[in-house]
Amino acid sequence: MLSTVRALAASGGGGILIATALALILLTGCEQDRVAAEPLLTVNVYEIGPPVVNSEETFHGRVVPADLTRVAFRVAGKITRLEVQPGEEVVKGQVIAQIEDRIPRQVLADAQAQYDLSRKQLDRAQNLLDIGALTRAQRDELQAVFRLARANLELAKRALSYTVIEAPFDGQVIDVEKEVFESVAPGETVAMVYRTERIDVLVNIPDGLPGRIHQPADSRAYRPMVTFPGAEKVYAMKHLKNSGARNPETQTFQIWLTMPAGDAAFVPGLPVTITVDLEEAGFTMDPGLVVPLSALEPAGESGAFQVWRYEEGVVNPVEVTIGRISQAGALLSSGLQVGDLIVISRLSLLVPGLAVDIKRVNQDS
């Protein structure tokens, strides 16, 4: 451009052309300065520390009814008595409901009469047998009739007992599903009762944990700490039972914890927080690199994750393998190394090879 201006001046070109050329030079210089001064995107980065074994894990669960039992009739009928309401305390043997029993009572009365008659006939036959007025075969026939009458009497008593349902244990009624004068079928739930002398908690644990158990007996003896909303203290609960297969909907295994109720009154459905030292509970805990959850984003494949690593002034995505999630963040089993710098902010603005400015953040923040 300067050579052009000199040529115009040497040829005696007009002043207008020289002025125009000088203006173009100035504009070009300003544009170059503007491009060079454009600021880079600034992101926060986190430096990967040494591998850690973070064995403390927090799970969320809920209080569930202990030994929840569906109370139902064994025979069909129409309900004539319903003695309980939801929330009512019951004791073992207390009548919960009754169905029409007129026919079973009549059957019982007939069976009782037949039993009494056959017993008297058998007693008389035995006396006649003793004096030789009756053969042993005749006595045996009357004895068979008596035994049949006795069996029919027991069946009639049992059938009458089926017209009443009682509380199977001391507890509380959580629900009543039928009303008076409503017909019920055999096995159809009338009410639901659960035990109140203990408190049970259901917790879902990740699919991968049961496969890493190495001390099953110790894990059952371990007592995780459970926090209830509004409670002033933390409770130690013991293992009650666990599911043998994972839940197909949540892809988790289920564990039930329990403790005596004592003075605690935690109702079913109450959310709780369970803190577990997995290593103490018998799980094999492999060390891993911890990254903040804010550094993770979904990768191309389903269930895969990636982070953005900063190196030599630019960022690029790196696929990582997550061992598990803890309160401290995600524990990675592969993908990064100690000392790597990963981006933890403004991920949506990043593209491979993008030059950025960085701001380091404290690893504990």
Q: Which amino acid is at 299?
A: A
* 179/115 same-domain check: yes
* 80/229 same-domain check: no
Give me the pLDDT at residue 253, please.
Answer: 83
Q: Does residue 365 lie in a domain region? A: no
Band of residue 362 on the pLDDT scale cut at 50, 70, 90: low
- How high is the mean pLDDT of the chain? 85
Give me the pLDDT at residue 303, please.
Answer: 72
CA dihedral angle for residue 335, residue 340, residue 343, residue 349, rounded to 10 degrees: -70
Domain boundary pick from 184, 214, 243 = 184
Give me the pLDDT at residue 58, please.
Answer: 83
Alpha helices in 66-101 (DSSP H): none
* 166/122 same-domain check: yes
* 292/267 same-domain check: no
Which letter, b or e, does each residue of 322-351 get, where b requires 16 or more Cβ atoms within 10 Å of its Cβ? bbbebeebbbbeebbeeebbbbbbebeebe
Percent of the chain with pLDDT over 90: 57
Q: Does residue 191 lie in a domain region? A: no
SS3 state of residue 68 = strand
Band of residue 63 on the pLDDT scale cut at 50, 70, 90: very high
Domain boundary pick from 231, 255, 277 = 277
Q: What is the C-alpha separation between 290 and 332, in angstroms, rounded?
A: 6
* 305/324 same-domain check: yes
Q: Which amino acid is at 191?
A: A
Give me the pLDDT at residue 250, please.
Answer: 75
Give me the pLDDT at residue 255, please.
Answer: 87
CATH code for the domain in which residue 168 is found: 2.40.50.100
Average pLDDT over residues 132-152: 92
Band of residue 163 on the pLDDT scale cut at 50, 70, 90: very high
Band of residue 226 on the pLDDT scale cut at 50, 70, 90: very high
Lowest mean pLDDT among 211-215, 258-262, 324-328: 211-215
* 180/74 same-domain check: yes
Band of residue 66 on the pLDDT scale cut at 50, 70, 90: very high
CATH code for the domain in which residue 61 is found: 2.40.30.170
Average pLDDT over residues 43-71: 89
Query: What is the reported pTM?
Result: 0.63
Percent of the chain with pLDDT over 70: 81
> Looking at per-residue confidence, does 1 or 254 come out higher?
254
Residues of the domain holding 158: 68-184
* 171/72 same-domain check: yes
* 78/175 same-domain check: yes
Q: Does residue 223 lie in a domain region? A: yes
**Of 34-38, 245-249, 354-358, which one has max mean pLDDT?**
354-358
> Looking at per-residue confidence, does 229 or 245 come out higher?
229
* 114/149 same-domain check: yes
* 174/231 same-domain check: no
Give me the pLDDT at residue 171, please.
Answer: 95
Average pLDDT over residues 324-349: 87
Q: Does residue 190 lie in a domain region? A: no
Specify the number of domains making up the chain: 4
SS3 state of residue 292 = coil
Is residue 36's pLDDT more than 50? no
Give me the pLDDT at residue 151, please.
Answer: 97
CATH code for the domain in which residue 341 is found: 2.40.420.20
